[in-house]
């Protein structure tokens, strides 16, 4: 592609992305990152993850709102209200990944594309973490890359929104 055509394409992609707004949700205990089980989750805090997400959102020219809740019902409410304001959901459901049919149903009901992320590789940990109740209603899952899981997840989510991947 000629340089001029490439530049025009890049600028139209940027314009399209600027209309995208993503809801990023941290589940329970992720507010404790940095001090919590450092041998598993490292020293990166939730604030640092949020800064990295905000920076990546800038790079992608999208908008992002980042929230954390320790409460299942509150997460369900946030997902339930997301449909009118957001085009996609980036979620680390934390321990609810393995138990919460209600969060799974909320994601499915929202009809928004969602990407599930985990700091740790849940498949290398205790057996009860090997099963995700929520992943089957997500476009995909990124697990095991620490802070980078969120960044890769955000990139994948925006990519799948733009490509209108099947859910």
Catalog residues that contact ligand DQA under the rule CB under 6 A: 29, 92, 94-95, 97, 118-120, 122, 129
Q: Which of 26, 96, 118, 150 is catalytic?
A: 118
**Smallest distance from ligand DQA to CB 166, Å:** 25
Strand partners, 91: 25, 116
**Smallest distance from ligand DQA to CB 8, Å:** 40
**Smallest distance from ligand DQA to CB 71, Å:** 14
Is the Cβ of residue 37 or residue 77 nearer to ligand DQA in the bound state? 37
For the chain, strand residue ranges (E) read 21-26, 63-68, 88-92, 114-118, 140-143
Six-digit token pair at 134?
């929520």
Is the Cβ of residue 87 or residue 116 nearer to ligand DQA in the bound state? 116
Q: Which of 26, 41, 96, 150 is catalytic?
A: 41
Is the Cβ of residue 57 or residue 94 nearer to ligand DQA in the bound state? 94
Is the Cβ of residue 79 or residue 94 nearer to ligand DQA in the bound state? 94
Q: Is 98 a catalytic residue?
A: no
Question: Cα separation of 57 and 49, whole Å?
Answer: 12
Largest CA distance in the chain: 53
CB within 8 A of 104, min separation 6: which ones? Answer: 133, 134, 136, 137
**Smallest distance from ligand DQA to CB 150, Å:** 9
Question: Cα separation of 49 and 24, whole Å?
Answer: 11
Q: Beta-carbon neighbour count of residue 112 at 10 Å?
A: 20
Q: Is 96 a catalytic residue?
A: no
Could you list the active site residues?
41, 118
């Amino acid at each position: 592609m000629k340089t001029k055509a490439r530049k025009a394409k890049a600028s139209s992609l940027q314009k399209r992305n600027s209309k995208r707004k993503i809801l990023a949700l941290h589940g329970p205990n992720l507010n404790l990152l940095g001090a919590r089980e450092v041998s598993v989750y490292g020293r990166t805090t939730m604030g640092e993850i949020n800064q990295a997400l905000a920076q990546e959102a800038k790079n992608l020219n999208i908008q992002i709102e980042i929230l954390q809740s320790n409460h299942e019902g509150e997460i369900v409410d946030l997902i339930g209200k997301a449909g009118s304001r957001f085009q996609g959901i980036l979620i680390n459901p934390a321990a609810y990944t393995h138990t919460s049919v209600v969060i799974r149903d909320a994601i499915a009901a929202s009809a928004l594309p969602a990407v599930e992320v985990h700091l740790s590789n849940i498949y290398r940990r205790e057996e009860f973490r090997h099963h995700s109740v929520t992943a089957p209603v997500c476009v995909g899952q990124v697990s095991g890359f620490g802070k980078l899981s969120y960044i890769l997840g955000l990139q994948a989510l925006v990519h799948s929104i733009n490509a209108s991947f099947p859910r």
